[in-house]
Amino acid sequence: MYIKLFNERNATLSTIIDLLRLDLASTKTNNIQKPEDRLKFCSVIPLSSRPLLYIFQLPTMVSVPGDVTTVATTFGAMLLGTCFGCSLTGLVFVQCVLYYKLYPGDYAWTKFLVFVVWALDLTHTILIITTVWTSVITNYNKPENMDIIPPALGLSVAVTAAITFLVHCFFANRIRKLMKTWYIAAPVVVLAFFRLFTACISTSEIIRLKHYSLFIRPYPAWIFTSGVTLSASVEIIITTTMVIFLGTRKTGFANMNHIINSLILYTLETGSISAFVTVASLICWLIMRHNLIFLGMHFAIAKLYANSLLATLNTRKRLRIDRMYSSERDQNGVSAGLPYSGGNKSRVSVCFLLIAR
């Protein structure tokens, strides 16, 4: 597969000759294993002297429908993912400020968790900006470096895994409190740990190999695939478990059911978005791994998980107000002689764990 970027209207005869010469020479590069050797073997035409920008052959490229390697699908995808990620970082910061203002009496470990997630998210933002700067600015007019992976990119994968691990453990602990058992929470923590472990391996391999064309080979590609798959699976398990459990906690009181419906809606909103983006990134990685569209989506995963955690913590104020209002309505209903089932009280009290400290 060739990357050809040139101005067709201003193409000269010498440009066409250069293309033919490179096409003939490319048959000799198949026996060269190292990508940097292939790039040195293929001629690179200077940007300043010709309308042809560059043309070279990347190793181990195959024709896959939709798997097109261009500046738009590589650097463009990274740039868009970074811009979107930076906007989500702003939301994380705002939610952190709101959290510390609204909940000064929270447990110290919860405050520390929020601080760690914010610090990791900020670190992740710095890393992805560094990645784009290195790829687009530092390596400008250096097409031979297009296949090189910046070290900051490898570190961003590990930071993403660290954020998702903390968020998954937080929700696993919430499931444990609700269900008063570890038989679902424990497997979630184990899967989250394996996701973190595979991400660390992926980071080490990215830093060691230093080239995209080497990283997409069967190994270590399956390690990265396993990590993203585990991340999506854990998020789906957590969201499904919470929704099913809350659905079984509904009572005969309309006001209380309104609170439970609100909890279900918050769970779906915070869980489905991060799960959807993770699955979309996984699909793009599986079918279009020769471009970086999957990476642009992967940049947003850490920020979505951080916002998911903070949104869950910050919505407790509103739910507490709804709880007080519904309690007053229920007491008025009982005093008016309406039927009341004492068994519902235990069901409702379990759900209040979600809005407790």
Question: What's the confidence (pLDDT) of residue 180?
Answer: 87
* Token code pair at residue 220: 């270590």
Provide the number of structural domains found in the chain.
Answer: 1
pLDDT in tens, 312-336: 999 887 776 666 655 555 555 544 4
CA distance 91 to 163: 16
Residue 46 placed within a domain: no
Residue 53 placed within a domain: no
pLDDT in tens, 151-205: 999 999 999 999 999 999 999 999 998 888 899 999 999 999 999 999 999 999 9
Beta strands per DSSP E along the chain: 5-6, 52-54
Query: How many Cα atoms within 13 Å fall on the side-chain side of residue 24?
Result: 5
Spatial CA neighbour of 314 closest among 245, 352, 274, 266: 266
Question: What's the confidence (pLDDT) of residue 53?
Answer: 39
- Residue span of the structural domain in which 286 resides: 71-323
> Which of 145-149, 295-299, 331-335 has the largest mean confidence?
295-299
pLDDT in tens, 67-115: 557 888 889 999 999 999 999 999 999 999 999 999 999 999 999 999 9
Residue type, 203: T
Residue 65 placed within a domain: no
Q: Are 210 and 149 in contact (CB under 8 A)?
A: yes
Confidence (pTM): 0.76
Nearest 5°: the CA angle 67, 71, 72 is 70
Render 71-129 in DSSP notation, one character per residue. Answer: TIIIIIHHHHHHHHHHHHHHHHHHHHHHHHHH-TTS-HHHHHHHHHHHHHHHHHHHHHH
Q: Which residues pair with 54 in a beta bridge?
A: 5
Residue 275 confidence (pLDDT) above 50: yes
**What CATH number is given to the structural domain containing 162?**
1.20.1070
Residue 116 confidence (pLDDT) above 90: yes
Residue 29 placed within a domain: no
- Could you give the C-alpha distances from 331 to 106, 192, 238, 256, in angstroms and in order? 29, 43, 34, 12
Question: What's the confidence (pLDDT) of residue 351?
Answer: 53
Residue 328 placed within a domain: no
Residue 66 placed within a domain: no
Residue 77 placed within a domain: yes
pLDDT in tens, 13-55: 454 445 444 444 444 444 444 544 544 444 444 444 333 333 3
Nearest 5°: the CA angle 123, 129, 130 is 90
Three-class secondary structure of residue 4 per DSSP: coil
CA distance 334 to 328: 10
Q: Are 95 and 310 in contact (CB under 8 A)?
A: yes
Residue 334 placed within a domain: no
